[in-house]
Structure 1
C-alpha cells in the first residue's frame, strides 16, 4: 500500500512539472513604438485587422532628465488613428532611469501631474473616436537606487489620474521581487526581450537568448501581480566601424542579408557600400545581426507556459507594429504567436 501511494505521489509530481499554464482568453495586442511623424501604414493596419488585434500600447512620449532642464518630455508621437471604436488604446510612457535617480518627491509630484496632463490632452486630441481612456502604462528600467522614487511616482500617478496603472516588468525584477520590489501597479507586462547587454555579450543574441530566458523564468515564486506578456518580433543590426560600435539599424532581414557575408555566428561583414536607414555602410564594416525567427518565439511561448501562472484573461503583445519587421513573418505565424498560449 505504501509503495502504491509513493508511486502515485511521484506520478503526480512528475505530471505537475509537465503541466503547462494555458491562457483561456488571450487579448491580442501590439506595441506601437514610433515617434515624431510616423503613422500606421496600410500594411500595418491590414495585418492588425487580419490578426483581430483589439489593443494598441502606443508610446505617447518619453521623459528624460538634464541638470539644466530637469525632467522634460521628448520623442512625442504624432500618430492619428481613425475608426477606433473597436480598439483599446493604452497610452505608454518611457521614463529614463535618470529621472528617478535625480528627482525628489516634490519634482515627482510635478512629474505625475505633467504625465497625467499630457496623456489626457493628447488622447482627447488624437483619439476622440477611441474607447474611453482607462489605463496608463509606464515603462522604466528601474534599479535598486531608483526603486523608491519610481514606486512613489507610480502611486502618485494612480492617485491623480484615477486610472488603471500598469508597468513593464523586465526579467530580473520578475525573478527577484524580494530584492527589486514589486511595483505598486494594477498589473505588469513581462517583457521577454532585451535580455542581455548587446555590447557586452558578443556570442549571444541579446534580444532573446532561450537559455538566459529560462534561467529567469525558472523560479518557485509566483509573481504577486497580474502578468501580461510581450514578445519580440523585431531584428536589428549593431554596426561596428573600425572595430568600434557605431549605431543600431532596424531593417528588413531579407534585403540586408544580401549585402552581408557571415564571419561567424551572429557576425557579418559588409560586402558592398550602401546606405540603410540613413546609415552609410562601407565594405568591411562589421555587423552583429540579431534576428528572432518564428521558432525562437515558439520556444519562448513554451517556456512561459511551463513556468508562469497566467490569469484566465491575459493580454499578449507583440513588439512592435512595423511593416518592415512584420515582413519577416507570415500572417499565420503571427496569429500563432497569440493562439499558442491557449493550446
Structure 2
C-alpha cells in the first residue's frame, strides 16, 4: 500500500512539473513578403496551420482614411500555411469618425484585402484579424466597425487585445468577436528611462492580467514576443530605437561595456545604419526562453487551452530558438 501511495505521489509530481505544450505559429510583419531559408524552416516546423500576415496599416491623414505600407510580394514567399490577413488600424482613425464612414471603411479594407489576395494568389483562411489599440472614447465606433466588417466580408472577424484592455475592461468594453489575440508584450514604453524590459516585464504583465480568467470572450489566443531592439540614448537623455539588435551585436572594440546588455560608444561613427556620437549609450532588450516559459506558466493558470503566435517571423529572431 505504501508503495502504491509513493508511486501515485511520484506520478503527481511528474504531471505537475510537465510544461503544457501549445500549438504555435507566427506573425509576419514585413511590408515586402519574402522568406529566407531560416524563416522557411522555422515556419515549416510550426505546428499550427496559419501564418498571421500583416497586409497593410490604416491611418487617418488630413481627415481621410489612407492605407499605409501595403504589402508587396517576392517569389520566395511560398508556404503551405493558410494566411490570416491582419490589418493594423490607428486608434485616431476612429476619433470623431462619422457613422456613415464606418461601413465605408469596412468595405474599403475588405476590398484591399481581396485585391492583395488575388494579386499574389495567397491561400487565405476564413478569418480577418484587426489590430487596434482602441480606447474608452473610440470603443463604440470601433466595435461597430468590427460588426460591419463581419457583415461585408462574410468572414470570422477577430481582433487583438492589449493588456490595459483586459485590466480596464469596464472602461474599454468587450469587442463583439468570439476570439481575441492577447498581446503579451509592449508592457511599457522603450522611450522612458527605466530599468524594466519594455518588451516584456513579467511583473507588469501579471498585474494587468490578474483577472484574465474573468474576461468574457469565448476564445483567447496568446501573442508572445521574440523580437529585440536597441535603445539609443544621446547626451540630452533622448531616446531612439534600432530594431533587431541583440546583445551579441554589442561586441565591438568601439564600445565600452556597461553591463551584459548595455554599452557606451567610444568614438563617433556609423553603427547599425545610424551615425552615433561618442558618449551615446545603447541598451539592448531581448526576450529569453526563460521569460517566455515564465509567461506561459502564468497564463496556463488563467486560460485552459490556447495557441501561441510569436511576434515575429524573422530569421534573426527565430534562429537558434526552440519553440
* TM-score, normalising length: structure 1: 0.81
In 1, distance between residues paired with 2:257 and 2:28? 32
Q: Secondary structure at the match of 1:160?
A: helix
| Structure 1 residue 277, shift from structure 2 partner | 4.4
Structure 1: tracts of 5 or more residues without a match: 1-14, 336-343
Aligned to 2:236: 243
1:174 aligns with 2:166: yes
For 1:193-272, list aligned pairs within 5 A.
Answer: 193-219=185-211, 221-225=213-217, 226-259=219-252, 260-263=255-258, 267-272=262-267
Q: Which has the higher contact order (CA 8 A, sep 6+)?
A: 1
Q: Secondary structure at the match of 2:176?
A: coil
Would the aligned equivalents of 2:256 and 2:264 in 1 still touch at CA under 8 Å?
yes
Aligned to 2:286: 291
| Structure 1 residue 264, shift from structure 2 partner | 6.1
In 2, distance between residues paired with 1:250 and 1:272? 22
Aligned to 2:101: 107
Q: Secondary structure at the match of 2:23?
A: strand
Would the aligned equivalents of 1:227 and 1:310 in 2 still touch at CA under 8 Å?
no
Would the aligned equivalents of 1:203 and 1:266 in 2 still touch at CA under 8 Å?
no
For 1:1-343, list aligned pairs within 5 A.
Answer: 26-35=22-31, 37-67=32-62, 70-80=64-74, 83-84=78-79, 86-128=80-122, 130=123, 132-219=124-211, 221-225=213-217, 226-259=219-252, 260-263=255-258, 267-306=262-301, 308-311=302-305, 314-327=306-319, 330-331=320-321, 333=322, 335=323
* TM-score, normalising length: structure 2: 0.86
Structure 2: tracts of 5 or more residues without a match: 1-11
Would the aligned equivalents of 1:222 and 1:309 in 2 still touch at CA under 8 Å?
no
The runs of at least 4 consecutive aligned structure 1 residues that moved more than 4 Å come to 80-83, 264-267
Would the aligned equivalents of 1:240 and 1:247 in 2 still touch at CA under 8 Å?
yes
Would the aligned equivalents of 2:167 and 2:208 in 1 still touch at CA under 8 Å?
yes
User: Compared with structure 1, are the counterparts of its residues 285 and 105 closer, same or farther at alpha carbon in structure 2 (3 Å cutoff)?
Assistant: same
Would the aligned equivalents of 2:227 and 2:317 in 1 still touch at CA under 8 Å?
yes
Q: Secondary structure at the match of 1:185?
A: coil
User: Compared with structure 1, are the counterparts of its residues 83 and 33 closer, same or farther at alpha carbon in structure 2 (3 Å cutoff)?
Assistant: closer
In 2, distance between residues paired with 1:304 and 1:97? 27
Deviation string, structure 1 residues 51-103 (Cα, Å, up to 9, x no partner)? 44521110100011122x5110001121356554x312100001011101131
Q: Secondary structure at the match of 1:205?
A: coil
Would the aligned equivalents of 2:224 and 2:309 in 1 still touch at CA under 8 Å?
yes
Would the aligned equivalents of 1:138 and 1:166 in 2 still touch at CA under 8 Å?
yes
Would the aligned equivalents of 1:252 and 1:324 in 2 still touch at CA under 8 Å?
no
Provide the aligned length of Structure 1 versus Structure 2: 305
| Structure 1 residue 42, shift from structure 2 partner | 1.7
In 2, distance between residues paired with 1:261 and 1:292? 23
